[in-house]
Structure 1
């Protein structure tokens, strides 16, 4: 629980009672590799804080191909936030890449934190801003760079996760086939 509280403290100070309320609402959830935390076609029901493991955001394009567009690792919150907030159906999946341990908040618990902790709304806004800024800075090079530069950008963006993510997911994220990614990696050695 301390990892969660330390993360939150970077956005605002929580007093002892507030910290106890937050920890009382967090429930431990363990998911095996390749399990879904959230699924397309369903309304996201929870927010998770990752204690151990890696998750990915993915969807199926109009050709039926699976596309990975983001990874999230330890010490971060994860949810399909816009759809969680609006309580509408998601168009993407959040899937575990490794076995994961998360502290999970239901929608009801999240709303209670918002209603009880005066600064929770500001904390939430700051967390969302931080995540969006990180996402934009990591995804921007993916649009204009060639495949080798995109792979190098991936390594720079996710240095602690790179060795833990299967090559198929990395290839999808970079936008190339696994064979092309293997050639890129070979040429970089």
Structure 2
């Protein structure tokens, strides 16, 4: 639970009694690999914080192709914040790609935090803003890069993820076929 509290403290102040409340109202949950945490067009009723493991966010194209939008590793939230915060259906799926240890924050607990923890909403706003900036910084450069350049940048930014992500999912994220990714890897 300390990982979640430390993460939150990076975005704002929490009194000892706020930390105690967070620890009481959240739950560590072991989740098996390939477990779907969220399904497109449904409402998100819990936030998931990744303590151990890797999850991914993905969607399906009109042709039924599965496209990985991004991966979430340790010490990040793995949920559709817009769906959770604004009670709108999510547009993506969220799935574990390794066995995970997650910290679950149910909607009811989140609402208690909003009522009882001074500055909670501002803290969450800072987290969401940072996540959006990270997403833009991750995706925007990829639009003008070749598959090889995207792979090299992925290796540079996320070396710890390379051996934890199946190649077909990495290829989907990079916007290449798994055969192209194999060729890229062999050429290096």
With normalisation by structure 1, the TM-score equals 0.96
- 2:105 is matched with 105
SS at match of 1:48: strand
The offset of 1:41, in angstroms, is 2.5
Distance 1:4 1:24 in 2: 13
Q: Deviations for 1:48-84, whole angstroms, at most 9, x for unmatched residues?
A: 1111100000000111000001000011112101111
Work out whether 1:154 is the aligned partner of 2:117.
no
- 1:39 is matched with 39
Q: Deviations for 1:150-183, whole angstroms, at most 9, x for unmatched residues?
A: 1112222322212100000000000111010000
Distance 2:74 2:16 in 1: 24
Distance 2:15 2:107 in 1: 23
Q: How does 1:86-125 map to 2 (within 5 A)?
A: 86-125=86-125
- 2:16 is matched with 16
SS at match of 1:124: helix
Distance 2:156 2:124 in 1: 27
Distance 1:2 1:89 in 2: 31
- 1:171 is matched with 171
The offset of 1:85, in angstroms, is 1.3
The offset of 1:111, in angstroms, is 1.3
SS at match of 2:12: coil
- 2:29 is matched with 29
SS at match of 2:159: coil
The alignment of Structure 1 onto Structure 2 pairs a total of residues equal to 188
Unaligned 5+ segments in structure 1 are none
Distance 2:10 2:69 in 1: 27
SS at match of 1:163: coil
Work out whether 1:63 is the aligned partner of 2:66.
no
Distance 1:165 1:47 in 2: 22
- 1:126 is matched with 126
Unaligned 5+ segments in structure 2 are none
